[in-house]
Structure 1
Amino acid sequence: MEPLLRIHAGDLEVGYSDTGPRDGDAVLLLHGWPYDIHSFEEVAPALAGTGFRVVVPYLRGYGTTAFLDPATLRSGQPAALAQDAVALLDALGIDTAIVAGCDWGARTTNILAALRPDRVAGQVTASGYLVAGQAANAHPLHPVDELTWWYQFYFATERGREGYDRYRDEFARLIWRTASPRWAFDDAAFERSRPSFANPDHVAIVIHNYRWRLGLAAGDPRYDEWEARIAERPTIGVPAITLEGDANGAFHLDPAAYRDRFTGPYEHRSVTGGVGHNLPQEAPDAFAQAVIDVAQRAAEHTAEASGVR
């Protein structure tokens, strides 16, 4: 993932990796929590080697990404992360990109594809369609499913905030193990990502994200319009592939539950072999192939829309 670059984009100075030919079709890869850009350490070079320009940023609160203004609310709400991505594309002069991600990154790619299809040629997401506003999060799940969200309730307390701050590395290891129970990552893999969690805004962003979901923290008013649109569970019309590992220990829906949210060219793929929640790092070949296939469908979709045969 080296060398890392930095660029001013919206509220942030973003730390990012940019590989492959600069005139290649752009791919934006977005990581989740508690992961970092190393989720794509094999995906990025594979795509760059086939001619894509591959941009992999640290999300707000991770790695070398920093806020430009100390007074900016450290919001972790979905609209903030999505607008960060748009600002990065603007700063890099990228008009449209394939967007792909997992966990928080998957949610962000969904939002971008739904609300800014003018900037998204196609999308790949692990765990399907994750667009939901505060109202949807207010509804209780089955107790078995609520159990998988134990940390969300922990973070709702001051004890949880202090505990996460004190034990952020141990917390990340725990989530890696429980969300991907068959992923045999080694210490070296974790050590590549561990420094990302030392970002001075990391804890504030994570805690705000989960407290906002439960309606326990106010959002940034600048994102109210986007959050209102997100709450409507908008459909996605760009070419899309969703992926699900066969050993995902995190909460996830059956693909049939979100099939109607995809109205354009669409395919769901199940990835076997004990693949958990951090799908691009655990199954990089499957993830990279999905991006390649979506890019091909996006090109065909564009040609068809323009009347080219």
Structure 2
Amino acid sequence: MNTEALIQNIKTPTLTVAYEEHGPATGDPILLLHGFPYSPRGYDDIAPALAARGYRVIVPYLRGYGPTRFNSPDTLRSGQQAALAQDLLDLMDALALPKAALCGYDWGGRAACIVAALWPERVRCLVTGDGYNLQNIPGSTQPQAPETEHRLWYQYYFHTPRGVEGLTKNRRDLCELLWKLWSPTWAKGPERYPLSAPAFDNPDFVEVVIHSYRHRFMYAPGDPALAWMEEALTRQPSISVPTISLCGADDGVGPAEEIDEDIEHFTGFYERRVLAGVGHNIPEEAPEATLKALLDLLQR
């Protein structure tokens, strides 16, 4: 299934958010959130299926992607975790959604997890790619196992002027390489990548991405207006909303560990599902499993 939806725009305090909408306006709302370096195309086989069941499905372009734009040239092009969460809250407010089901992975999963942790009354249920996605920034300076450090090479690359220039000049080639490395067993990656790549031509893409990977290691200051949220996140708050975590067994960034070390962060209904043969781009590689996880929570 691959039914296109028209791109709509809505203004929030910081952004004019571009989003795709599926299903009836009166349906129970679901927000589907992509990550880096991906786009709403990751949900092409999921959004229409949910809409066909009567749900109202919103699939936004995150800050720095596609047609989404900052409202002011003076706004910090932040990619920090609190900014992503605030964008999600602002979008829900602009769309007059007091509560919604959330599904996200990578950056989108981080935004969804933060909102679920700090504003549980706004979240009906949560499908998260790779579990508890809140960054522990104060602990980011501690070295990890060499295999883990090796998989994070691109983040260290972005800490340098060379990395900024490399992403600027080679953004499509670099992002395509990440797709290959992070989803090494996904046969459809080469044919699907060109559908998402245009979203990286956003004029703020490079600045937002670089800030994201520098801020999480405390190499760049955050938005002062979001300092309170970042402070709250240092306490690694728990998530109480009904949650299913989907983990790719072949994820080239962080393959699923045998023991679920995230379970302690979830205090409500929680289930972890490890998906064999699936990499980092979970909804696009495993749309059936992602759809099932959402429906299992929505129909509880």
The separation in 2 between residues aligned to 1:253 and 1:247, in whole angstroms, is 8
Closer/same/farther in 2, CA of residues 191 and 277 from structure 1, 3 Å limit: same
Alpha-carbon offset, residue 105 of structure 1: 0.9
Against the structure 1 CA distance between its residues 78 and 231, is the aligned structure 2 distance closer, same or farther, given a 3 Å change threshold? Answer: same
CA contact (8 A) 1:149 1:251 kept: no
Q: CA deviation at 1:2?
A: 2.5
The residue identity in structure 2 corresponding to 1:166 is K
**After superposition, what is the alpha-carbon deviation per residue over 1:78-129, rounded to whole angstroms, capped at 9, x for unaligned?**
0000000010011111110011111111111111100111111110011111
C-alpha distance after superposition, 1:112-151 (max 9, x if no partner): 1001111111100111111123202122111110000001
Question: 1 CA distance for matches of 2:88 and 2:185?
Answer: 31
- The counterpart of 2:232, out of the listed 205, 229, 241, is 229
**In structure 1, what residue type is equivalent to 2:84?**
L
The question of whether the paired residues in 1 share the 8 Å contact of 2:184 and 2:252 is answered with yes
How far off its partner does 1:188 sit? 4.1
Matches within 5 A, 1:1-309: 1-185=4-188, 187-252=190-255, 254=257, 256-272=260-276, 274-297=277-300
CA contact (8 A) 1:19 1:55 kept: yes
Residue-by-residue CA offset, 1:249-297 (whole Å, 9 max, x unaligned):
112563521101010011111112x111001000001001111111123
Identity %: 45
1:53-85 Cα offsets, whole Å, 9 max, x none, are 100000000000000000000000000000000
| TM-score with structure 2 setting the length | 0.96
TM-score (ref. length: structure 1): 0.93
Q: Which amino acid aligns with 2:214?
A: R
Q: Return the alpha-carbon distance in structure 1 between the equivalents of residues 91 and 282 of structure 2.
A: 24
Quote how far apart the aligned CAs of 1:9 are.
1.4
Alignment length, in residue pairs? 296
RMSD: 1.1
Aligned partners of 1:136 and 1:231 also within 8 Å: no
* In 1, Cα distance between equivalents of 2:242 and 2:231: 24
Q: Structure 1 residues 253, 246: CA separation in 2 closer, same or farther (over 3 Å shift)?
A: closer
CA distances 1:175-214 after superposition (whole Å, capped 9, x unpaired):
1000000111255422211110000000000000001011
Letter in 2 for 1:260: E
Residue 304 of structure 1 is matched in structure 2 by none
**Change beyond 3 A, Cα 1:253–1:131:** farther
